[in-house]
Amino acid sequence: MKTPYEDLMRFFGTALYSGTPEWVSPNYAVYEDDAVILRRFDTDRTGDPIVILPPQAGHHSSIADYSPDQSLVKTCLKKTTKPVYVVEWKTSTLKRKNEAINDLVKQTMVCVKKAGGGRPVILAGLCQGGWLATIYAALFPYDIRALILAASPIDFTAGGGKIQDIVNTLPFWYYKYMVDCNSGNMSGDVMLMGWKFMNSYDRFVRDYLNLWVNVRDDGFLERTKRFRLWYEYTQDISGKWYLEAVKDLFTENKMIMGTLKVLGEYVDLKKITCPLALLAGERDDITLVPQVHNLEKYASTPEEHIFKAVIPQAGHISVFMGKRALQYEWPEALDFIENAMSRTGSEPSPDTTGYKKKAA
């Protein structure tokens, strides 16, 4: 019989639990620089690889391999025979504070080339990683065999939503002030507080009430600790590309308007012709369904090569780590992509000289 004192110790031990997130699946680093680590989760598979781009939104990239029974990596390994890679983004240092969206695309290019080894890749973008993956696919279509987007805003202003309410309310100087307060980087701690305030009652009241009600449930406490380990661990991002994203994407929707310039070239979504899988959450109040699905209106991919799904009851991160999504919608998307790629055949090799010139 547990005492009230033991209950309090269990409550506070869980509520204050912290540490560094870890990958749950065996992997090894195939490339590392100041910005990224490219991790491979298999040893001997061949074929067009799957490269997962997690979001840079103040959290660790291990959300792609969250737990033994909630792992997008494990789902990809189980449902395909392809090599599986994940890009691990590092926290931004003062040295990297001036990295722009241009630099994000260059960092993605290095990982795509390392993973592909001359082959095109299946690029799977999660949240912010999705709009980055889409920009890359539009600029370098011959590098991409297929594109999978999960809870990724592409048509940023479609349908409104909480983020649109914020960017339409706060003046741009306020975002610049937050960056200046952290010496040029956007603070992960500040971003985390912003996410919490979007659902303030849930994060500051309901979560703790649920913890107290379930304080004697060992399984509940372990699940809560695991989530806190990921959610409360923060990373900074470059202030420059953060401000570019706020202004050019979330406010002015330049990618959809055709006026977003990256690496000296306008991002033209019509250049995307590869198979698409577009996954959105029914209850996602961060990235609304049309913000993901509207890519089909602008890409040149044939309708029969586009997979769309709305995951029932799924919130934002549940789209790429929820049990329901990993059991049903992701396997369906991966099967669809495999079948669509088999119908489209192999892609020609790109002019690598031209690519190098563009990325210079």
pLDDT digits (tens, 9 = 90+) for 323-338: 999 999 999 999 999 9
Residue range 129-162, pLDDT digits in tens: 999 999 999 999 999 999 999 999 999 999 988 9
Contact 147, 123 (CB under 8 A): yes
Which of 10, 9, 6, 14 shows the shortest CA–CA distance to 227? 14
Cα 21 → chain centroid = 16
Closest CA to 239 of 286, 188, 169: 188
11: CATH: 3.40.50.1820
pLDDT at residue 345 in the model: 65
Query: What is the CA 107 to chain-centroid distance, rounded?
Result: 15
CA nearest to 272, candidates 287, 291, 255: 255
* E strands present in 239-305: 261-262, 265-266, 276-281
d(CA 168, CA 88): 31
Q: Which residue has the tokens 């560094």?
A: 20
Please state the φ and ψ torsions of residue 62, each to the nearest 5 degrees: -65, 0
* Residue position matching structure tokens 């490339």: 31
Mean pLDDT of 278-291: 96
- Chain centroid to Cα 229, Å, comes to 18
Residue 356's pLDDT is: 39
- Is 80 exceeded by the pLDDT of residue 205? yes
How high is the pLDDT of residue 256?
97
Task: Let me know how long the chain is.
Answer: 360
Q: Range of 122's domain?
A: 4-359
Give kind and range of the element (H or E) at residue 178.
helix 172-181
pLDDT given at position 352: 40
Query: DSSP states of 192-241 as a string?
Result: HHHHHHHTHHIIIIIHHHHHHHTTT-HHHHHHHHHHHHHHS----EEHHH
pLDDT in tens, 166-200: 999 999 999 999 999 999 999 999 999 999 998 89
Tens digit of pLDDT for each residue in 11-28? Answer: 999 999 999 999 999 999
Confidence of residue 359 (pLDDT cuts 50, 70, 90): very low
pLDDT for the residue 83? 97
pLDDT at 343: 83
Q: What pLDDT, on a 0 to 100 scale, did the predictor assign at position 355?
A: 39
Question: For residue range 27-44, what is the model confidence (pLDDT) as tens digits?
Answer: 999 999 999 999 999 999
Q: Tens digits of per-residue pLDDT, 311-324?
A: 999 999 999 999 99
- d(C-alpha 268, C-alpha 96), whole Å: 28
At residue 294, φ and ψ (nearest 5 deg) are: -65, -10
Own/partner long-range contacts of 250-255 (Cβ < 8 Å, ≥24 apart)? 250/153, 250/156, 250/157, 250/163, 250/164, 250/167, 251/167, 251/168, 251/172, 253/155, 253/156, 253/157, 255/131, 255/134, 255/135, 255/154, 255/156
Amino acid identity of residue 179, one-letter, is V
Q: How far is CA 3 from CA 6, 9, 215, in A?
A: 5, 10, 12
Mean pLDDT of 246-256: 97
Band (pLDDT 50/70/90 cuts) for residue 349 is very low
pLDDT higher than 90, residue 105? yes
**Mean pLDDT, the chain, integer:** 93
> In the prediction, which pLDDT does 354 show?
38
Q: Maximum CA pair distance of the chain?
A: 71
- Predicted confidence at residue 235, as pLDDT, reads 97
Q: Mean pLDDT over residues 247-267, rounded?
A: 97
Structure tokens at 78: 């189980």
**Per mean pLDDT, which range of 51-55, 63-67, 195-199 is the poorest?**
195-199
**In the structure encoding, which two tokens stand for residue 190, read together?**
């500040």
**Residue 37: helix, strand or coil by DSSP?**
strand
Phi and psi dihedrals of 281, rounded to 5? -100, 135
Report the alpha-carbon distance of residue 164 to residue 158 in Å, rounded: 9
Q: Indicate the pTM of the whole model.
A: 0.93
Angle among Cα 315, 195, 247 to the nearest 5 degrees reads 105
Q: Is 51 in a helix, a strand, or coil?
A: strand
Strand partners, 50: 84, 122
Query: Is-contact 102 233, C-beta < 8 A?
Result: no
Count of structural domains, the chain:
1
Q: What's the rounded mean pLDDT across residues 95-122?
A: 97
pLDDT band of 350, cuts 50, 70, 90: very low
The proportion of the chain whose per-residue pLDDT surpasses 90, expressed as a percent, equals 91
Say if residue 271's pLDDT is above 60.
yes
Cα–Cα dist 124/270, whole Å: 19
pLDDT at 351: 43
At 88, which amino acid appears? E
